[in-house]
Amino acid sequence: MNSTPPPIRVVLADDERMVRTALRAILDAEPDIEVVGEATTGAEAVSVVRELRPTVVLMDVRMPEVDGIRATEQILQTLSEPPRIVVVTTFENDSYVYDALRAGASGFLLKRADADQLVQAVRLVARSDSLLFPAAVRTLAAEHARSRPAPPPPWAARLTERESDVLRLMATGLTNGELAKRLGVGPATVKTHVASVLAKTGTRDRTQAVIAAYEAGIVGQSSQGNRR
């Protein structure tokens, strides 16, 4: 007998009441999503998330007292099982967005996104098997890597050839199922490779791994050193 999975629990963090009201109306209309709390500042967001333990947080970047970046850092650093955090912003090239992604946000959503995009974004990060808006994430990561080049980190040499391939494909936004088809392996094997990549890069999800890959020069290079 199939049981209905629990709803995706969402917390909304935005200092504009009209924005929160609009987001709540869209999300609460979905049978598999439930808005369980709201916050008007970054500090309040941290408190609400600690109390309610949501699945996903929609976090405005620019808020009074504590901004969305610091709130994201505090949530991810202090909770043993933190939620997925989606940064909500007006401009996708905002430097705050990249800082929030580096801090641990799983993706970002533009405030002009329509209702379908909002709902799909919440469901996608709750599943956490793909990137949220991969093209935009790749663009931000690539621009940052070009402007601030750095030597490859130690973990880059520890990736196997297959893991490097998986990481580069992850950067294109492929799901586990799509990765399996591309590599000609089973879903369980893909999950093992992805888990190994996250462990070796010291990242918690695909967005963080892709950012790390760009900053390490693994994505975009024609050859890799110390592959085996």
| Range with lowest mean pLDDT among 25-29, 121-125, 139-143, 145-149 | 145-149
pLDDT-based confidence at residue 128 (cuts at 50, 70, 90) = confident
The superfamily (CATH) of domain 8-128 is Response regulator (3.40.50.2300)
CB 62 within 8 A of CB 55: no
Examine the pLDDT at 226 and tell me if it is beyond 60. no
- Going from N- to C-terminal start, the domains of the chain cover 8-128, 142-216
What span, in angstroms and rounded, lies between the C-alpha atoms of 83 and 42? 15
**Whole-prediction pTM value?**
0.84
Is pLDDT of 222 > 80? no
Q: 142-216, what's its fold?
A: Arc Repressor Mutant, subunit A (1.10.10)
**Alpha carbon distances (Å) from 109 to 85, 113, 185, 215, 216:** 10, 7, 32, 22, 25
- Greater model confidence, 228 or 114: 114
Residue 108 main-chain phi, psi, to 5 deg: -140, 160
Whether the CB-CB separation of 87 and 49 falls below 8 Å is answered with no
Element (H, E) at 109: strand 107-110
pLDDT over 50 at 53, yes or no: yes
pLDDT at site 27: 97
Q: Tens digit of pLDDT for each residue in 8-18?
A: 999 999 999 99
